[in-house]
């Protein structure tokens, strides 16, 4: 490194040498090389480079990898490597520190209870349970193996809604009005309204652990995505309706809703994970008791209410959900 005092950026100095003594300038080139580039042949500085044989390339590569004369590894001596690594260590440490400071400042300024913007998460999306793999519910009523996965999922999903659990953690609220708790401090814990599993009737899985699947009258549970501070329906509850879109539409019949075909206002607004710890999303259980076809039926359930958008072209889960039903005997 030391002997090449002109190396690096001192291009002006190279040129001075270059005309009079090309042999000298070939030397600093050593450290100019990087990675897989080939080195120029020092013995023949004046010769134009010809196509090198494979062996020559390998030899040069080896020399580049470790040059015993200059003790240079990959074109740099130990000291040179040390300096450059030290530089980059400091540089990146500084950068990391700066990033950390910025992130820290960001987290400091952000409320832990409410996100700064909620405009991208409204209007709410809709999901159903059971969701096993996708949105195809296909089973043979007579074959429990074909629907066991659905009932298991539903059971697991409904565990937090067990009456005991609900009564222990949550309060019974006044129906049909929003359960606003804005008067408390932001960090204070909010109460959550009870939503009892038993209210789901045929679809609670209490009386019929097969949720109707064994009879070919399956239940699904529908819920609306949680959004902090969102008041669905603007005073009037959001209702749910279902219709068959494709397949033997005539043999779809009508759906049953439990406990009601709407989401009661008392479950809103939601105050966020941190303060609304025991919040359980209200559900609408939908039963399809009158399906008389074994062919796949495409069913769409959607929300109806003020401020609900269920016709978005881009987002097929906004205010609606589409799934297929194939109920075998």
Do 67 and 61 form a contact (C-beta atoms < 8 A)?
A: no
Considering the complex, state which of residue 37 and residue 152 has its C-beta at the smaller distance from other proteins.
37
Q: How far is the CB of 34 from other proteins (least distance, A)?
A: 4
Closest CA to 244 of 233, 254, 235: 254
Q: How far is the CB of 251 from other proteins (least distance, A)?
A: 27
Q: How far is the CB of 43 from other proteins (least distance, A)?
A: 13
Local structure of residue 249 (DSSP, 8 states): G
Q: How far is the CB of 95 from other proteins (least distance, A)?
A: 6
Closest CA to 32 of 82, 74, 83: 74
Q: Phi and psi of 269, rounded to 5°?
A: -80, 170
Do 161 and 197 form a contact (C-beta atoms < 8 A)?
A: yes
Buried b (16+ CB within 10 A) or exposed e, 62-86: ebbeebeebebeebbbeebeeeeee
Q: How far is the CB of 244 from other proteins (least distance, A)?
A: 21
Considering the complex, state which of residue 103 and residue 171 has its C-beta at the smaller distance from other proteins.
103
Tokens standing for residue 112:
């832990």
Considering the complex, state which of residue 257 and residue 271 has its C-beta at the smaller distance from other proteins.
271
Q: How far is the CB of 135 from other proteins (least distance, A)?
A: 7
Considering the complex, state which of residue 159 and residue 250 has its C-beta at the smaller distance from other proteins.
159
Do 81 and 73 form a contact (C-beta atoms < 8 A)?
A: yes
Query: Could you give the CA distance from residue 93 to residue 289 in angstroms, rounded to a whole number?
Result: 65
Considering the complex, state which of residue 62 and residue 254 has its C-beta at the smaller distance from other proteins.
62
Considering the complex, state which of residue 50 and residue 159 has its C-beta at the smaller distance from other proteins.
50
Q: How far is the CB of 5 from other proteins (least distance, A)?
A: 7
Q: How far is the CB of 254 from other proteins (least distance, A)?
A: 26
Strand pairing category for 66-67 and 219-224: unpaired
Considering the complex, state which of residue 95 and residue 188 has its C-beta at the smaller distance from other proteins.
95
Considering the complex, state which of residue 75 and residue 237 has its C-beta at the smaller distance from other proteins.
75
Closest CA to 231 of 296, 297, 181, 170: 181
Query: Could you give the CA distance from residue 303 to residue 186 in angstroms, rounded to a whole number?
Result: 30
Query: Could you give the CA distance from residue 199 to residue 261 in angstroms, rounded to a whole number?
Result: 12
Do 141 and 215 form a contact (C-beta atoms < 8 A)?
A: yes
Q: What contacts 292, CB < 8 A, 6 or more positions away?
A: 251, 253
CB atoms within 10 A of CB 55: 8
Considering the complex, state which of residue 205 and residue 269 has its C-beta at the smaller distance from other proteins.
269
Q: How far is the CB of 215 from other proteins (least distance, A)?
A: 27
């Amino acid at each position: 490194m030391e002997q090449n005092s002109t190396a690096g950026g001192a291009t002006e100095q190279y040129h001075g040498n270059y005309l009079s003594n090309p042999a000298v300038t070939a030397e600093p080139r050593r450290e100019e090389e990087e990675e897989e580039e080939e080195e120029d042949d020092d013995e023949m500085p004046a010769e134009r480079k010809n196509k090198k044989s494979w062996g020559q390339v390998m030899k040069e590569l080896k020399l580049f990898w470790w040059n015993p004369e200059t003790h240079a590894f990959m074109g740099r001596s130990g000291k040179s490597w040390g300096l450059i690594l030290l530089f980059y260590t400091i540089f990146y440490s500084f950068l990391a520190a700066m990033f950390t400071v910025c992130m820290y400042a960001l987290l400091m300024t952000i409320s832990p209870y409410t996100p700064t913007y909620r405009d991208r998460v409204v209007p709410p999306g809709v999901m159903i349970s059971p969701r096993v793999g996708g949105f195809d519910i296909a089973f043979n009523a007579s074959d429990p193996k074909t629907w066991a996965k659905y009932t298991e999922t539903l059971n697991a999903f409904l565990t937090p809604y067990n009456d005991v659990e609900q009564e222990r953690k949550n309060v019974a609220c006044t129906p049909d009005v929003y359960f606003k708790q804005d008067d408390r401090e932001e960090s204070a814990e909010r109460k959550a309204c009870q939503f009892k599993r038993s209210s789901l009737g045929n679809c609670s899985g209490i009386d019929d652990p097969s949720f109707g699947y064994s009879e070919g009258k399956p239940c699904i549970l529908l819920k609306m995505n949680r959004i902090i501070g969102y008041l669905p329906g603007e005073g009037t509850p959001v209702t749910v309706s279902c219709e068959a879109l494709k397949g033997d539409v005539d043999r779809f019949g009508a759906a049953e809703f439990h406990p009601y075909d709407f989401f009661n206002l008392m479950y809103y607004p939601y105050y966020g994970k941190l303060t609304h710890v025991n919040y359980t999303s209200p559900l609408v259980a939908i039963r399809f008791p009158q399906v008389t076809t074994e062919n796949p039926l495409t069913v769409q359930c959607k929300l109806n209410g003020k401020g609900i958008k269920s016709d978005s072209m881009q987002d097929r889960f906004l205010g609606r959900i589409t799934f297929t039903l194939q109920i075998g005997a």
